[in-house]
Amino acid sequence: MFKNHLIWLGSCVALVLASTSLAVTPPIIPSIINGLKKEGNKHDVADAARLAAEIPRGGLGLLVIDQQVSFHPGGSLAIPTANEDAARIAAFLTKHSSELAQVVLTMDSHQRYHIAHGIFWENDAGESPEPFTSISAQNITDGVWKPRDSSLDDYVLAYTQSLEASGKFSLTIWPEHCVIGSPGHNIVPDVLAAALEWTKESLTPIQYVMKGSNPFTEHYSALKAEYELPYDPSTSSLNTALIKSLQRADKLVIVGEALSHCVNYTVRDLVAAWPKERLRDLVILTDCSSPVPGFEAAARRLGRSSGSASDISDPSQMTSKGELALTAALFLVPCGAILERCVADGSLFALHPALNALAMLVCLPRARQIMPHGKLRLRKVLELVEAGEQHLTSPHSWAALVTAMFFSLNVFQGLLLTFEGKQANWQWKDETHVLTGVLVYVGAVATMLYGLHTSAWGAQMFAPDRQFQLTVLILAAHVTLVGKSLVLQRRPPVTQQKKVA
């Protein structure tokens, strides 16, 4: 701004000097000066607009990938749990609105005539492939499938060979989805409403990133196309402008559809271009993203191979072997003591605490292994609860927490009553111990059922009909077990009668 004023002042001086030496008519001078002043002011206001549109440095960034109608129940390429993902994304956006410095919405944006849509291809009978058909380079060489436009014969062979050489996947024919201008292209209402409210409150524009409009290449990643076409800048290079914009955030949260495809390959490209020392600033909310049915393995591979984002198993965050051995040793001492007493006692009832001890010995060190590196501080636990992300947000996680509390109480009380004397006493009976044991049993069953229906893992691993079948089997098994126990408990004691000689 100062520079513009300086230019304007210099121009005025130059004009005054020129007028004295060249005898310019005095009325012309003011109009020229006013024109220069207006031009300077125009640059000033343009700078103000540029600065207002600039992505601020710091804060929280949110990258929402392809939350579009086509990928939700009722859409042409529906993911069964996408509505639940969208609800959690909208809630996250609303809850963290004041912390968000930037919101990026990517949008799959296709032509109907597209290399991954059926109408692009035909067989010898003139028929198009069905959705989810895989077309390999060998299929093209053998003449199983060919492009309807015969001028593209060589291109599609080179294209499929390139895909297969990348090791990612072969060409998949998808249902026609996210066609530009169609209802399926729209952002789903709840996510859009939350984003629009954020832009209203923050006075910051939403960044919309369109991808996939070139009909001759797929564009899963929001950062680059699968096949570079030099004539189209949107496919020929990595979107470094978007990467630099995202890097301005202190922490970047990634959500959206689908975990098996567009989220998967966006994260891979982002990790490859991200500063190594800042990889922990990438966070995938896995309960805000789901895989396309049938492609769950691809989503799991994301966790194994790109383990640099905070929500993926990062080797640097895993417990070291030394710490794991120490943890196992710490649990081995009390569990070993219990097992030793149980073996020495030899009674059938001793199996009960023995099995509990074995469960603790096997499960708890493993739980410690997958905890983040370092001590789990109370403050961190409270932050997780307050943030409402990933932990203690579903009935499954709360049921597990309550069950663990009752289990700890039950084990502690059982140890006190059994080993309070010099000799192990297995003959005691205590109503409180029975009650907490029943609560642990009920809590474990509830946790299992909630895990099937409300956890991200359950939703991803089992279709709704399979969830129902497993629920019926679990309930039937436990009802049978409890019923048998009640029958045995109410059965009168059997007394042996001596034979009368």
Residue 93 or residue 476, greater confidence = 93
What is the distance between the alpha carbons of residues 172 and 185, in angstroms, rounded to a whole number? Answer: 20
Residue range 384-394: average pLDDT? 49
Who wins on pLDDT, 157 or 324? 157
What is the pLDDT at residue 315? 33
Q: State the Cα–Cα distance between residues 378 and 372, nearest whole angstrom.
A: 14
Mean pLDDT of 143-162: 96
Q: What is the pLDDT of residue 326?
A: 56
CA 200-204-209 angle, 5° bins = 110
Q: How far is CA 159 from CA 24, 89, 245, 376, in A?
A: 68, 35, 31, 49
pLDDT per residue over 416-468, tens digit each?
Answer: 777 776 666 666 677 777 787 778 878 877 877 777 676 655 655 566 777 77
Q: ∠ CA 92-98-99 to the nearest 5 degrees?
A: 75
Contacts of residue 427, defined as CB under 8 A and 6 or more positions apart, other chains included, come to none
**How confident is the model at residue 455, as a pLDDT?**
61
pLDDT at 12: 54
Q: In angstroms, rounded to a whole number, what is the distance separating the alpha carbons of residues 286 and 290? A: 7
The per-residue pLDDT of the chain, averaged, comes to: 77
Distance between CA atoms of 203 and 49, rounded to whole angstroms? 12
Instruction: Please determine, for residue 181, whether its predicted confidence score (pLDDT) is greater than 70.
Output: yes
Q: Would you state the pLDDT for residue 106?
A: 97
pLDDT, residue 309, reads 38
Contacts (Cβ under 8 Å, ≥6 apart) of 485:
none
* pLDDT above 80: residue 104: yes
State residue 10's pLDDT score: 56
pTM: 0.57
pLDDT at res. 244: 93
Q: Are 376 and 317 in contact (CB under 8 A)?
A: no
pLDDT in tens, 20-73: 444 444 566 566 666 655 665 666 777 778 777 778 888 999 999 999 999 999
pLDDT of residue 61: 95
Looking at residue 410, its pLDDT comes to 79
Higher pLDDT, 377 or 495: 495
Predicted local confidence at residue 436, as pLDDT: 79
pLDDT of residue 395: 74
**Contact call for residues 127 and 101 (beta carbons, < 8 A):** no
- Strands 134-135 and 121-122, bridge-based pairing: unpaired
Distance in angstroms between the alpha carbons of the first and the last residue of the chain: 121
Task: Report whether pLDDT(217) > 90.
Answer: yes
Tell me the one-letter amino acid at 81: T
